[in-house]
Each structure stands twice: as structure tokens, then as C-alpha cells.
Structure 1
């Protein structure tokens, strides 16, 4: 049984077990969607919907467990969507699952915890994980509590974040980036869990799943940068901890942000542990962070890392163009000259006044929409509308005032890169990339 099989780690575990021919029972909040998105043959896989945030009772799990089952709990969240989610998803829900495993006679429970998880940890993420770990140790069932450090995987959110930071030419890092980390590769985490499942150890043990050696945050980013093909290191400037925490608080107001006060505290705390236990289970040393990026994946990862932070910057730039156009049209540019330009395209009098004010307000709406609308609405309405409007403006001015094409400041020729930028933003929207109509996402 893989609990949380639609998540980053759970999906990797399920796929690995499936390729070994195991009979799988996978859980996800939306089992139908998870099954459709699964990347392995579904012949021996059964799905059920289960949301640990609702704390399913032990009786629910008893309906699905059989004696001798191996249960892997990979469910988890990095940020709470509502108060109490950490406690429910990381502690109370798993505790009911573990109690059911005892009653059903499970052969082994593998709990995917986190390095630094204890019931007395300062942050809710580690504290709730630690409480579940303690509950499992007290259960009369064989168990292995694996505590990964940062997990690097090609599709992982943390890998994307650190790759994005690595390509930047200048970095502001809290404390200069001297926090200790011990990142571990996804393949080693999966191999370790497979080894535990095959061995079926008795008793209870806690194993740190970490890379071969600790590394500071700034060194980790510098090593990733070299793997991505950059010969020169980025400039690293120290950021005071108070400013970093304030920035994390502001970033936390955006639901799509990786950073919030909780994750900021994790980063400032740092964590490291001996790698001997994982090495023993793997029968080899874990992969070094210096070899995380394979040669064949360098270009794709570097491109994705640049797009990760350039696309939001590009979107804000496009938004500011529309907003600034409103500001200039509504008052900064002499109104008489604006009306004179409209007269050259056939608009005059009250009609010209209304057209000027209406166009300015429409530009403002486009700018605000570029920032505030969810991805689905941007893809379906906003981007094609902006391209159509620019095409109309360009055609009208070309017809009435063709000399603007020869203007040294290029008021018309600059529409070409503007359209290219909008087209790129449209092409890179999440719903467009997946080829499906995705639900609206936060801006």
C-alpha cells in the first residue's frame, strides 16, 4: 500500500514497486485523476480515494489492509492550506493508519518522515512529522522511519527552486548561505525504500536518508551552477535574517510560493546527519550532489531554470506596459496631442474623448488582469485579446500614420517583441503545456 501515491515521492515509490511486479493499493485525494496521470502500467494497481486531512479512522484502513502487507506512508505537504493541516496530514491521519496496520497484521510500515523531525521541533512541519514517528515507534508492528533531507528529483519542486537559484548571476542568501544541507537524490531514496521492503526488518528503526556529505547552501548552489555549465560563480550577498523572514512572510501570502515563514525556518535551521545507515541499505555510497545533473539533461534543466524566474518577470513587465500606457494616456501626455492623433484616424469631438478614456481604462484592465487573473483565464482570454488589440492598433496607425514606422524611437516596431513576449507567455501557461484545461491557478 502506497499512501499518497500521487505525490512526488509516493509516485516514484509506486512506479518502482510496479516495475518489480508488486500488487499495489495506491491512495490519493482524487484516485481517478491520480490513476489517469500515473506513469506505470495499471494492471496490478488498484486506487482508492483517501484524504489524510479528513483523518480517516482505523476502520477505513482495515477495509483495505491484509495480513502481511507492506505499507508506505508517503503523504505529506510542505505548506498548510488551512490551519491544522500539518497535524491532520502528518500526525493524526497517519496514527490511525498505523493503528490499523497493527490490527491487520501488516508485515512492515515504512514512514517517510523528514530529517530534523521531532515532537519538540520549532516548526509545525517537523513537529507533526515527529509526533507521527513517535506514535509509530510505540506500535507493535515492524517499522522503518526514513528521514530524508532535501530530495533532488528532476520533477521535484525543490530541485526546480534550487536550479533556478543556481542560474542567477547574483544571489541574496540569508546569512550568506552558510546553512548546512545534505541533499539526497530521488533514486537513492527509492532504492533505500525498496531495500527495506525486500528485507522486511523486524523491530523499529529510524534511518537518515541523506547524501554522502553535508554542504553549505551557497556551496550547493555553486556546485549546481557548475553542473549547469557556468564557469563563473554567482555573486553572493548576505541577507539579514530579519529581512529574510519578513520576505518569507510576504511570499507566504501567495499560495503558489515555495517560501513562507515555515519553510524559511527550515532553511535557516539547516540539517545534516551521518550517511552510514543509508549507505548500508544501498550497498554503496549515495550519489553526491555534485553529480545530480546528468550531462544529457543540462540544457533542458538550465532552460527550465531560466524560465522559472524569467516568465514571472516577463509577465510583470507586460503588465506594467499596459498600466503605464493607461497612466500616460489619462493625464501625463498632453491630452490635446492625444486627441489630435485620434483625429488623424477619424475620431473627433465627444467620440474622441470617450475613445481616449475608454481605451486607457481598457489598457489598465489588461495590465491588472495580466497580474491577477488565473492561468486558465489568461490562456483563454487575456493573451489572445492583447495580441488582437496590438494588431488592431498597429494596423490603424500604419494606415493613418505610416511615418511612425520611421520614428527613431520605434513606437510601432517595438510592438513586435511585445507580441513575441505575449506569445511566449501564452505558450508557457500550465494548461497549454499539459494540453488539458487545467483548473485556475494562482497568478
Structure 2
């Protein structure tokens, strides 16, 4: 069967393409920038007429629409990518004689009132009205090694203290991406009855805390205390997030509070996914294979470790600049500089020049992190540490260890220099 998969370079689309190819299908990858044979150029922000699709659908037996976003950016809006483009694509499928269409929607799209859900529902309803064989799959949260949401949850779970929103009784039932890909392959089979909307989720529903606890345990971290963030603070953060492109927005916060799980204690709701898979879907405790756990662990740590080191370093440089220029008595600073051979205007220039350089380094740690920056900072610290050790040797055995404390800073710079590209890049 020749299958066009739109959104083939996305997290879910890649898994579907691999599964279909392994099953012997001829897979056409619908991508914005074709890079290899079998790629078909598609642009959901521009291909908004059925005529735009007819030639691309020539000879195609089935279509899988796996295009989806969780937040809007520029022309990539919910309305364009989830609704307008899929609606005309589905209409073109009916005109071109495409036998079957599988739409990847979202659990909750039938009744959710956020822009994300309403755009998904608009495409679902348009497909249901067409004279083609259709199956709409509505998955819960999808977990996989390449998933952005999975990375976010694993990162949160890896913290020494887990910060979790206070979500009350909200339940989550994540689905492994391989199970979703297998369900898509089964949905394309002529033996699978069409004209169906199937809600699919994993084998176990848990609370938000339980979800993070399961991921933390799978990554071999010991249990950690959970700090619950009040809903009011989360709502304020979501309001601010909509203006800076953050994943947390008022809509995603509402979706998070609603949870993502099948109806509780309803065996019938899980029957369709079991039918498609020929088995029960994996539960959350089985998402990470033993061979994958160390990779998940390292990625989770790397996702916040580098940022933490950079910000701590920035704070050290900025605080040093402020203290040197405005807080510490100037006379005492000039007295220290006199002991290393600087007096008068050269000493004043050195004092405030060093403070300015510290300030620049602090800002650069935030806005321009580079290997060259870490190298220059390390060289400067080594240089003035050697000068102080030679001219002010009492600081070597000072009880507060001002020179010895440069060692952990040098270690931070060494780690940042070694990890220019993190595991999450």
C-alpha cells in the first residue's frame, strides 16, 4: 500500500513512518523540505486549496495526518495546521480516490474548548462528513525518547526536589509512541472497520505526581520530595508564558488541569485500542526499556544542569561586579591593589575596569554562552589567582578560602567548555 504520512519529520510522524515501512508499505514522507527519495513537499501554512494536493495524492492509497503543534508560533497556528489545511487535504483525498484516511487527533478533542482542541475537532468533523474510509485516533499524552513533552516530564522528574503543579484529582494515562504507531498501522488495514473515532491511551492512569514518580523510578533516581506549586502561581506563569513563546500558556494550563485519561473504571473505553494492538497497551512503568534508561537519565540531567551552571556563574560575575564597584569600600580595594603594584589612577582604572569586565561576563553567560567565553573566563581566573597567590599569599590559607573557591568555578567552566552541545541539542 502506498501511504502518504504528513508530518513525517515530527515525533509521532517519524515513528509512524518507521512502523509502516517495517510492515512493507511504500511510505511517502510529507515534509516541508524534501531531503531524500520518497519525500513529498507539503506546507500546511500555504497549501490551503484542494487543488494544491491533487497531484501529490496521485496513486496514493492511504493518508495519515500526523501534523500537530502544542503552541502557536508565527504562521504555525492551530487554525492553519490543525483545521484549515487538513480540511482541504481530506477533501482532496475524496476527490483523488484515496481509499483510507487516518487522522491523529487528541484525547479530549470531542469536548475541549481550548483553541488546540477546537481546531482538532474541526478537522475531525470535516473528515467524518466525507465519502472516504476514515479512522480518527485520539491519543492521550504520547511518550517516547524523541518527544518534547516526554523530555519535559523526565526533566522535571530528575530534579532533586520535584516542582509539580497542584492539579487535584486530574488523571493522566500516557501512551507509548510505538503503541500509537502500531495502532496507525492496524487502522490502515482493510480488515479494520472504518468510520470510527477511537480514544487511545496507555495501560495505566496515574496522577501527575504518580507520572513523574514513575519516570523518576525508571531513570533509577531515588525518591524525591515534591513541592506543589499553587494553582494561582501556575495561572500567572501561564499568562506570562503566552507572551514569550513558553510551552505553558493559559490553554495548556487548562488542559493540564483537565488531565488526559480515559473514563475511570470503564473497561469498554480501553477495548478499541486493545483490538487494534491485539494486546493491552503498555503501562507507564514499561515505557523505558532497560537499555534506554541510562540515556533518558543523562538527557534529563543535561536538560537542566547546563542552564543551572550558566546562571549560577552569571550570578557570581554580576554580584562580584556590583560588590566591587558599589559595596566594598573603595579605600580597602585600592589598598589591596597597592600591594600588587597598582596605585593612583591606574589602580582606580583597574578596579572599575575589572568590575565592568565582571558585569560583561555575567551578561554574556546568559545571552552569549560560547566555548570561547568559558576559555577566556578560565584564563582570567587562573591569572588573577596566580597573581593573588604571589602578592597576597595570606589568602591561600584564609579561613574563608577566597582563592580555593575558584576551584569549583573552574570546574563549572570546564564542564561548560566540554558540553558546548548538550544531550538535548
TM-score (norm: length of structure 2): 0.90
* Deviates further, 184-193 or 306-315: 306-315
Listed as ranges, the gaps of 5+ residues in structure 2 are: 263-268
Structure 2: distance between partners of 1:386 and 1:132? 54
1:195 to 179, 186, 189: 186
Tell me, yes or no, if the aligned pair for 1:177 and 1:217 is still in contact at 8 Å.
Answer: no
Structure 1: distance between partners of 2:52 and 2:417? 44
Residue in 1 that maps onto 2:345: 350
* Deviates further, 209-218 or 402-411: 402-411
Specify whether residues 370 and 253 from structure 1 end up closer, same or farther in structure 2 by C-alpha distance, changes over 3 A only. Answer: farther
Structure 2: distance between partners of 1:172 and 1:285? 32
2:249 to 260, 285, 288: 260
Give the alignment's Cα RMSD to 1 decimal. Answer: 2.4
Question: 1:64 Cα shift?
Answer: 1.2
Instruction: Tell me, yes or no, if structure 1 residue 78 matches structure 2 residue 76.
Output: no
| Secondary structure at the counterpart of residue 184 of structure 2 | helix
Alpha-carbon deviations, 1:411-443, whole Å to 9, x = none?
22222211221232343344x669xxx8xxxxx
Question: 1:359 Cα shift?
Answer: 1.6
Question: 1:58 Cα shift?
Answer: 2.0
Specify whether residues 400 and 47 from structure 1 end up closer, same or farther in structure 2 by C-alpha distance, changes over 3 A only. Answer: farther
Specify whether residues 177 and 363 from structure 1 end up closer, same or farther in structure 2 by C-alpha distance, changes over 3 A only. Answer: farther
Structure 1: distance between partners of 2:22 and 2:394? 66
Structure 2: distance between partners of 1:149 and 1:7? 17
Instruction: Tell me, yes or no, if structure 1 residue 295 matches structure 2 residue 290.
Output: yes
1:384 to 375, 388, 391: 375
Structure 2: distance between partners of 1:419 and 1:49? 49
Instruction: Tell me, yes or no, if structure 1 residue 417 matches structure 2 residue 420.
Output: no
Alpha-carbon deviations, 1:116-163, whole Å to 9, x = none?
113x62211111111111111112211111111011102211112222
* Deviates further, 349-358 or 77-86: 77-86
Paired positions, count: 416
Structure 1: distance between partners of 2:416 and 2:91? 49
Question: 1:410 Cα shift?
Answer: 2.1
Residue in 1 that maps onto 2:7: 4
TM-score (norm: length of structure 1): 0.86
Specify whether residues 93 and 385 from structure 1 end up closer, same or farther in structure 2 by C-alpha distance, changes over 3 A only. Answer: farther
Structure 2: distance between partners of 1:429 and 1:276? 48
Listed as ranges, the gaps of 5+ residues in structure 1 are: 36-44, 439-443
Residue in 2 that maps onto 1:40: none
Structure 2: distance between partners of 1:55 and 1:200? 32
| Secondary structure at the counterpart of residue 25 of structure 1 | strand
Instruction: Tell me, yes or no, if structure 1 residue 240 matches structure 2 residue 235.
Output: no
Structure 2: distance between partners of 1:60 and 1:152? 33
Specify whether residues 410 and 254 from structure 1 end up closer, same or farther in structure 2 by C-alpha distance, changes over 3 A only. Answer: farther
Instruction: Tell me, yes or no, if structure 1 residue 152 matches structure 2 residue 167.
Output: no
Structure 1: distance between partners of 2:370 and 2:5? 35
Instruction: Tell me, yes or no, if structure 1 residue 336 matches structure 2 residue 331.
Output: yes
* Deviates further, 282-291 or 421-430: 421-430
Structure 1: distance between partners of 2:51 and 2:305? 49
Tell me, yes or no, if the aligned pair for 1:174 and 1:244 is still in contact at 8 Å.
Answer: yes
